[in-house]
Structure 1
Amino acid sequence: MFRINQFISRKIMVTFAALIVAVCIVLSLFFFFMTQRVINQNVVPQFRQVLNIAMDGIIKGMDSTQAMQAAQGNSGEIMKIETYLETQLQAYQLDNLYLLRIEDNKAVVAAVANSSKNFKDKQEVQLSDNINKAMTDGKLLTDLYQTDAGSTVTYYYRVPGSSVIVAASMDASFVNSIISNLIWTTVIVAIVALAVCLWVAYKFSRKITLPLARLVRHTRLVAEGNLQQDIKMTGNDEIAQLARGFRLMTENLRTMVHQVLDSSDKVAVGTEALTTRLNKMQRMVDQSVQSVTSIESGSEMIANTTSENARAMEEITTGIQHIASSTAEISEQIGDASDSAITGNQMAQQAVTQMGSVEKAVMDTKLSVQTLIERSESISEILVAMSDITKQIRMLSLNASIEAARAGEHGRGFAVVAQEVGKLAEQSRASTYEIEEALESIRQESQKSTESMDSVTNEVKSGTELVQQAGDAFNRFVEMMQLANQTVQSASAATQEISAGSEEVSASVDETAEITHKSLTNVKAIAKNADRQSGEMLAYVEIMRELNNEALSLQNIVSKFKI
């Protein structure tokens, strides 16, 4: 109980503490940033305004030549300018007012007001970015920044035509004090709030954990089997409702234990009686199994014999069907052969007709060739006559040439004509010779063609006789095929009748085998069911025994509860 109490209280206190710390941090950051914002929006602008007014007045009243001479180290001018700076510092309530001389990348205080807080005469000052920017731009009014002396705002003004800077600053260190005080105040408030919240959380957690501890103690009693105790708690909050739920649960559990005790007693008695009956039923099932096994053996022998008969009939039927199909194929093939023979006979007759046409064409061609030979002989006779004429023309041309030569100059033209006539006669003789050679070749080829045509005529006659003999053979073959086809068709019809009868017998045998197999299947199913029932009966007996043991065990467990 103490651990539970401590654990819940610790969680509540840690939760409250974390919440308060988070709130304090958020508030501290809020106040810090708000303070910074107020300072930047109100305080710093006031400082900048005062410095603007002060620097304007200082520059108007200051002699620039005197300031540059003081920066060069003129002691008399230094005293005058420092007196002037002191007067202006008091007038404008500044914290620092001084002259800076910039040389060799360093800044040195050339003159300073006596009341300045942070600067002395001839003090070397760090050459900051603000000073460099003032040298470049001529003047610079800075924002609030941190130095070793604290927070400050400075106005830098470069004297025209020189490296001398007039600097005026106001101390804003009080801003750091304000921020520091704000932070410490926030921390103290957070610590006080944390302590108060932890005390409130402790009291609140105690109010919650004490009733819970009572519930835990009651739960342990119930877990140990003690149902005689009741928990009482007043109020209407969630814990009181939880306590009432625990009390109702205890009452229901007490009633349930009563019922379980009664039921377990009844179950134990019933399981013993049921186990006895199941043992008797088991013996009866074993006897049934033995009987079914004997029936199964006989049915299996009958089924095997029937199956063998069915297979034999199926093989016979298959053979007969094969014969019928083969006979049908033979009949079909004979029909195809008969058709082919008829077609062959027709083709033979066509061949005889074509042979006659060929013979006639050959005879016509032979007559044409003989006519060609006769014409060639006639042309040869004409060519002989032309050759004689050509010889006479040549003789006349020669005589004309001789006469032209005798005539001298007067017969020169006639001589030319005679020469041309001689040339023509010579050309005619050569052409006649070529024609004679061509005609001789035609006569020889025509003679060969005549002999070949005679041979072809003889071959055509012989082929015609052979084709006619083949046509007669085809006719006889067609007649034989038709007779064979009729015989095969008769055999095919008889085979189909036998096949139909064998199919009916096979169907009867198959039906008998199927009935036998179904009977065997049913017997086997009965045997399996009997075996399964025997196994189930054994399982039921075992379950009844386990159930009896569980009932006894349940009685032992429930007896531990105190009601």
Structure 2
Amino acid sequence: MKIAIIGAGNGGTKLLNFFMNNESSEVIQIIDQNFDSPGIKTAKENHIQCSTDINDVNEKVDLIVEATGSSFVAEKLFELYGHSKKIISSELAAIIMGVIDEQVQNTNKLSEQLEIIQNTSTSLEDQMNNLNDFSSSLNNISKKLVISSNEYKKYIEQTDTTIKAVNKITQQIKILGLNANIEAARAGEHGRGFAVVATEVQKLSNITSDFAMEISKLLESMGVENTKISDEIESLGKVTIKQTETSEALTHVVETLKSELIV
């Protein structure tokens, strides 16, 4: 439908913008005595025919919209074109302009809300990226802790092996000390000094054995604690993986939301 708008003031300009955004209609002419009016300027920018005389309505026009509010202009339009073209009165045009104003307000509000959502999405995406970086760092720390825990376990096992070797040597020394005492007793008076040394060797062997036993118990306790630490590290790794998966899912949701908003 080809339209001519009579009146290029604020109301006529609103109608012009409305119809220009409507694919089913085409404004081909706008008429106003003031060529400096906003509607005339908009029409010129969009290569729409402009005129100052209502007698010059284009023959191709199907619908005339009277937007001046002047009864004289309305009567003149009906007199000239009432028999050949459809005419919308200023009253009906005012209703249309009211609807347009409401639509513009709603559009502006929607744009503001979309901008807020866009900004929120961007902020949320930044937070998700930070969370991903943190999860990645936490995961790396967890892996390093696992390596350290395994090395610690090896040291405990090596130390335990050494303690077992010390215990074995201690038992052999104890046997040697016992045999030395027996031989000293057989030697009688001549073996008395040797018996004293043998006794001290046995005492030293017992002390060494006690120390080795204490160290062995300590290593056992350390092994238990290391196992607990390993279990906690494993739990931490699982939590980190779950956190990363959740973060990636949220990031995907945010990216989808942003792409839909852009569209």
Q: TM-score, normalised by structure 1?
A: 0.26
Confirm or deny that 1:394 pairs with 2:170.
Answer: no
Partner Cα separation in structure 2 for residue 418 and residue 333 of structure 1 = 95
Q: Does 1:418 align with 2:202?
A: no
**One-letter identity of the residue aligned with 1:473:** V
Identify the residue that residue 350 of structure 1 maps to in structure 2.
130
CA–CA distance in 2 between the matches of 1:437 and 1:343?
A: 55
How far apart are 1:468 and its partner, in Å? 0.8
**CA distance in 2 between partners of 1:477 and 1:427 (Å):** 74
1:160-559 correspondence to structure 2 within 5 Å: 334-479=114-259
Q: What is the one-letter code of the residue matched to 2:134?
A: Q
Q: Given residue 412 of structure 1, which amino acid in structure 2 is its aligned partner?
A: R
Change (3 A) 1:329 1:417: farther
Distance of 1:470 and 1:477 partners within structure 2: 10
Matched residues, number: 161
Residue 241 of structure 1: aligned partner:
none
1:372-396 Cα distance to aligned partner (Å, 9 max, x none): 2223222222211111110111111
Q: Distance in 2 between matches of 1:453 and 1:480?
A: 40
In 2, Cα distance between the equivalents of 1:359 and 1:434? 37
What SS does the corresponding residue of 1:437 show, helix, strand or coil? helix
Give deviations 1:9-56, integer Å, cap 9, x for gaps.
xxxxxxxxxxxxxxxxxxxxxxxxxxxxxxxxxxxxxxxxxxxxxxxx
Report the identity percentage. 29
Displacement after TM superposition at 1:328 (Å)? 7.2
Separation in 2, partners of 1:357, 1:388: 47
Q: Return 5+ residue gaps in structure 2 as ranges.
A: 1-100
Cα 1:415–1:330 shift into 2, 3 Å: farther
User: Per-residue displacement from partner, 1:464-500 (whole Å, max 9, x unpaired)?
Assistant: 11101101212233455567xxxxxxxxxxxxxxxxx
Q: CA deviation at 1:369?
A: 1.5
CA contact (8 A) 1:383 1:432 kept: yes
What one-letter code is carried by the residue in structure 1 that aligns with 2:203? Answer: K
SS at match of 2:227: helix
* 8 Å Cα contact 1:335-1:481 kept in structure 2: no
Letter in 1 for 2:126: Q
- Separation in 2, partners of 1:448, 1:361: 17
Instruction: For 1:424 and 1:362, locate their aligned partners in 2 and report how far apart those are by CA, in whole Å.
Output: 45
Larger Rg computed on CA atoms: 1
State how far apart, in whole Å, the 1-side matches of 2:193 and 2:111 are. 102
After the TM superposition, which residues 117-136 of structure 1 pair with which residues of structure 2 at under 5 Å, given as runs?
A: none
Residue type at the aligned position of 2:249: Q
Task: Report the CA distance between 1:420 and its aligned residue.
Answer: 2.0
Q: In the TM superposition, what is the alpha-carbon distance from 1:411 to its structure 2 partner? A: 3.4
How far apart are residue 425 of structure 1 and its match? 0.8
Contact 1:405 1:412 (8 Å CA) reproduced: yes
Partner secondary structure for residue 362 of structure 1: helix
Write out aligned runs for 1:94-113 (5 A): none
AA in 2 matched with 1:421: V
CA distance in 2, matches of 1:334, 1:424: 84
In structure 2, the partner of 1:63 is none
- Paired amino acid for 1:404: A
CA distance in 2, matches of 1:478, 1:361: 33
Which whole-Å CA distance do the structure 2 matches of 1:362 and 1:436 have between them? 29
- Residue type at the aligned position of 1:427: I
TM-superposed CA distance for 1:409, in Å, is: 4.1
Equivalent position SS for 1:403: helix
Q: For residue 21 of structure 2, what is the aligned residue in structure 1? A: none
Deviation at residue 426 of structure 1 after TM alignment: 0.8
For residues 206 and 182 of structure 2, what CA distance do their matches in structure 1 show? 18
Q: What CA deviation, in whole Å up to 9, does each residue of 1:91-119 have, x standing for no partner?
A: xxxxxxxxxxxxxxxxxxxxxxxxxxxxx
Distance in 2 of aligned mates of 1:327 and 1:427: 91
Q: Structure 2 matches for 1:42-61, cutoff 5 A? A: none
The offset of 1:348, in angstroms, is: 0.7
Superposed CA offset, 1:71-94 (max 9, x none): xxxxxxxxxxxxxxxxxxxxxxxx
